[in-house]
Chains A and B, each alone.
Chain A
Amino acid sequence: MHTSLDKPKVEEHLSKSEDFRKSYVLLAFALYILLDGIFRLSSLPQFHNFDFLKFSPLKVPHRSWVYWNEREFLTSPDKNPPDTALLGSSLMMAALHGGDAVYLKQPQNVAFHHKSKLLADLLTAASGKPESNFAFALGGEMVSDACILFEHMLKEKGAPQRVIYGIAPRDFMDSALPSVASTEIYRYMSHVSDLSDLEMKARTSPSEKIEYWLGKLSFIAGHKEDFIYIQQRWAKALTERVLPYKDLDTVKTPLHIRRQAFSELPEDSGANEVLTCPPQVAQEAYEDNLAEYRYRYRKINWKQFDDQLSYLERMLSRARQAGVSVILVNMPLTSDNLSIMPENFYNRYLEKVKTLAERYQAKVLDLNKTQLFPRCYFADSVHLNMRGGKHFFEVLAERLFRSSDPQTKAIMIKRP
């Protein structure tokens, strides 16, 4: 007969149940949940007095182009919407900065230059009435980004009289971008604006969706950028106090280090960093960037294209509801760039855009004509150079005001 003493020791050990209430790791997770709840509560409007974190969309660790843009737009003392809102990707952005650099004969600081003086003067001269504008043209801006920026503008300052939106095929299909939510503009605007109706649609991969839900589930995870900002402020303050550094916000860095930082964090730029200076030579340099665009066009993704097209439709629909006239400008490109696009892509793009524009009574202005923009106006296969930028706005203004089309005329007449 066996007694309990005969039981092997190992079994005795196995039969003991572990008391996980003694786990310090589980205690730490419980404390995390508690802390997360406290932070969440303190951020509620009802507990405004206890909001010790004081997060703000204008306090971010990485100062991207969209940050500088929104910073100026949101903090501007002018509470009225501009007469014209300019939208577009780096194609419009290059024209905006280059055009003004040539027109004003002075360097333009990209971080603070969001109004086209050239366009304002051209439109004022043509209409005889003062014209204002604000440019939401940002590098890498997809149609979905433009739609978000436009809706945010409507919400914050009301409807502008018109939107001039410079579009190109890349804005609808870019192999370098996995999803709508993967752009820096989307990421930043999700902090500034309520994008809850887009959040799930904007994420395509399961990991993006899980990350989104984790961000919703945990206040700390959802506000990691805000916490990183706090950490950076502390690190800067400590460094300035302990070490002989004065102003860590103004960038003083050798170019190769800066370039490396750009490659690691492309969406980060100091206030003093990027200046567009008027050209010093008769013929501006041309850079071959076809390799980059081969990559962007490498695999035609019609799903992404249709998805982006749906954002254009949404934008046109909202514009129509708000009484905003939209002019879609097909941006000039070089024939080299057109030649590397997948077959039928360009024609399908233009055809779809025209169909949508017609449906929502928007105007399509096709400036992609070699006779209008020969190669000497290009800095690379897609971006206009500085003189090209000035030429672009001159052509644009001329086309808008000298048009015999009654729809265009109506758009350009300034409302009282």
Chain B
Amino acid sequence: MLFNSLNYALFLPIVFALFWLSRDKWRVWILLLASYIFYMSWKPVFILLILGLTIANYYLGFAIHKSQEPRRKKTWLTVAIAGNLLSLVFFKYAYFFNDCLSSLLKATGGAATHLPFDIILPLGISFFVFEFIHYVVDVYRGHEPIKSFPAFALFASFFPTQIAGPIKRFQDFIPQFLAPAKLTVASFDSGLSLILLGLCKKVLIADNLSFFVQGGFSKPELFSGLDLWLFAYAFAFQIYFDFSGYTDVARGSAMLFGYKVPINFNLPYMACNISEFWHRWHISLSTWLRDYLFIPLGGSRGSKWLNYRNLIITMTLGGLWHGAALHFLVWGLFHGLLLTAHKLLQPIKETLPSLKKAIDSPAGRVASTLLTFHMVCIGWVFFRAETNSLALTMLARMLSLSPVMDGGKQLAMLLPTINYPLIYPTIFLILPLLAAGHVACYFIGKAGLVAKTPQLARAAFVLSMILAVVIFSPDKSPRFIYFQF
């Protein structure tokens, strides 16, 4: 069931009404049942997977907690992590590893291998597996396990965050389930406003940009370097509005039941450096990677080279988490290298006061933000292109600003000659508007203007979002990008 579908528009109010009309003790059960129905609406058989993992992790949590002996405790933890990772690897990476093995065998004169069965990737597996790992690791680290089975089952299957996060922490979430819920005007208003905002981001911006982006990424050789930069910018905004739109709907839906889900985005393209970018982009994933991969690898302890190694491994695996393909791995590696470069350059900046002053000045901050945005866009090329070779073709053209031949004429840009579909000519207005909007949101947030906005102005804004959703929701909107991960 997609958030941007009529089914969800009917499902959510029904669950909302049942939840608030029932007694407190039934509410967790209602949400659990709704979450399983939500999951089964795609492929009913996969309920067995999420249910199986839930039961296993629930009992493994107790086993870890009750073990007195550290070795035994560790063994249970290893079993839990291995079990979770194996299910993820089997469903998500079996084809990838098989392809890698086949390529290796072919290169050494052998024959390609084939999997004897078809594997369908269950929706949301990357997210709920990470939540289970977080749970067992934190129980191992000394947290109390969750006693209530329905609350634990709901933690992993909670329908607003089931498919694409944000990745929750049980310490924040479970107390909310166990406390008596109360519907407030504030949570009702914020919840519905967030849902509408998320849908607007999806149907108004991300879906339209996706149409444009597909044109450039499918045949990059036909476009000039400057054209390809525009496609990369467009993808940067597409993925941001798609994923943050999804998160808004998820957070808004949760709020309608009185639960708070962590934010995942905080104007990421306003980051002045790559480290700050990762504090603003997919926050629940980056903090998960920090806590359950980077720190266990050694984190910032040890020599600086070990620190860099840990950073690169964490980001590369984080890249591979997005999809079982080499271009995701390269995307992660690229970000690992950028973060390492940032760490390497930090001491130089500190030792040169004039450089530090220049970078910290308003102009320096603007330049850093622009530089960070462009580096992120280069990374997005690896993320979006279907193969690394296609990404490299694109980047070679982008970085050399190579022109394009059109009817015997050499053009610096081909895009201005395309007038249909309408997204092509209007992209020259849309992209500056999106960038300006991003900057404006930053300053509005900083000045705290949202809290000062009068009721009527808020109502007018919500009305405009209702109109946009009613009018522009297509009959068949594409899936959210992060659903595939």
Contacts and interface: CB of A to CB of B under 8 A. Distances in A.
A96 interface: no
A25 B462 contact: yes
A360 interface: no
Interface of B: 6-7, 10, 179-180, 182-185, 188-189, 192-193, 211, 214-215, 218-219, 222, 414, 416-422, 424-426, 428-429, 455-456, 458-463, 466-467, 470-472, 475
B182 A239 contact: no
Nearest to B207: A264
A25 B426 contact: no
Interface of A: 10, 13-14, 18-20, 22-25, 27-29, 31-32, 35, 207, 210-211, 218, 220-221, 224, 227-228, 231-232, 235-236, 238-239, 242-245, 247-248, 250-254, 256-258, 260-261, 264-265, 268, 270
Contact of B471 (A22, A227, A244, A261): A227
Contact of A236 (B193, B422, B462): B422
B429 A238 contact: yes
Contacts of B10: 210
A254 B418 contact: yes
B419 A248 contact: yes
A29 B189 CA distance: 11
B466 A28 contact: yes
Q: Is the interface of A mostly helix, strand, loop or mixed?
A: helix
A28 B459 contact: yes
Contact of B422 (A23, A235, A250, A252): A235
Nearest to A273: B420
Contacts of B472: 224, 228, 231
Contacts of B192: 25
A24 B420 contact: no
Given A14-B180, A207-B6, A243-B429, A19 B422 contact: no
Given A25-B462, A224-B471, A253-B419, A18 B455 contact: no
Q: Top 5 A-B pairs ranked by shortest CB distance?
A: A28-B462, A27-B459, A24-B458, A28-B463, A251-B420
Contacts of B218: 256, 260
Contacts of A29: 466
A27 B418 contact: no
A252 B470 contact: no
A312 B40 CA distance: 40
B180 A24 contact: no
Contact of A235 (B193, B417, B426, B460): B426
A20 B186 CA distance: 9
B418 A257 contact: yes
Contacts of A210: 6, 10
Contact of B460 (A18, A28, A244, A250): A28
A265 B211 CA distance: 10
A244 B414 CA distance: 14
Given A28-B463, A28-B466, A228 B422 contact: no
B471 A18 contact: no
Nearest to A257: B215
